[in-house]
Amino acid sequence: MPRVLIVHYSRTGHTARLAKVLADEIRRRGYEVDTEAIRVKRDRNKWLLPLPLLPLLPLLPVYLMSAQFRRVWHRVYHQPEQAIRPLAIPDVSAYDLVLLGTPKWLYLSFPVARWLKAASGLQGRRVAPFATFCGPPLKVFELEMLFEPLESRLRTRGATVVDRLAVSSNYHPYFFFGEMERLFRFISRKAFKRPLADFTLDGEVGKIELQRFCDTVCPK
């Protein structure tokens, strides 16, 4: 029986819920599934977490407009990390497939960046990342900004990236009156002609994407 490991980090619960739905669906398909939640050694105040990313924000317009700049930037930018607790499954070499889940913190979350260095056995493993973020699946701002550096790091560790899954959380932890959610709902209507709720785990597109992802990585 193929063995699957689903490892994820979740600060607000959205990525954790996606990880559970994936685990339930893949078990239903007859696969043996183990799970691990990445735990940080010390939770940081949410208002302090973005501080390492602030110097990058002035470059964001250039990043969004220039594919050449993005290719260079992904090679040279410094990815912040956060200390994590000892892993229950530090060696993933016994698994046929690893699903790695992260929220989007501009790029990938700091604890997942540390997991990528702490975990062993990625050489030769099939890996499929999955992620949650506030907005709709914008090609550059949401998808490339997260998955390109994440998948590059996986390949550097010798893994084979087999697919990716992106689901909107329709939630943003910053600001005070839901400003970011309203902005992304507006963008979703303008760019995709769909409400943002369609791209969530409970939405029409989200459900289709979940099944497509599972069909690719764990076919029935």
* Whole-number pLDDT of residue 178: 80
CATH of domain 3-217: 3.40.50.360
- Confidence (pLDDT) at 56: 81
- One-character DSSP codes across 187-209: HHHHHHSS-GGGGBTTSHHHHHH
Q: What angle do CA 81, 24, 87 make, to 5 degrees?
A: 30
Give the helix, strand, coil percentages of the chain, each rounded to 5.
45, 20, 35
Q: What is the pLDDT of residue 57?
A: 85
d(C-alpha 78, C-alpha 185), whole Å: 30
Q: What are phi and psi of 214, to 5 degrees?
A: -65, -40
pLDDT recorded at residue 53: 86
- H or E segment to which residue 175 belongs: none
| The pLDDT of residue 44 | 87
Structure confidence at residue 202 (pLDDT): 97
Domain edges within the chain: 3-217
Output the pLDDT for position 45.
87
For 1, other C-beta atoms within 10 Å of its C-beta total 7
pLDDT tens, N- to C-terminus, the chain (220 residues)? 789 999 999 999 999 999 999 999 999 999 999 999 999 999 988 888 888 888 888 989 999 999 999 989 988 888 999 999 999 999 999 999 999 999 999 899 999 999 999 999 999 999 999 999 999 999 999 999 999 999 999 999 999 999 999 999 999 888 777 898 999 999 999 999 999 999 999 999 999 999 999 999 999 8
Beta strands in 87-203, from DSSP E residues, in sequence order = 97-105, 107-108, 126-133, 160-161, 165-168
> How many other C-beta atoms can be found within 10 angstroms of the C-beta atom of residue 23?
18
What is the dihedral angle through the alpha carbons of 120, 23, 111, 41, rounded to the nearest 10 degrees? -90
- What is the model's pLDDT at position 211? 98
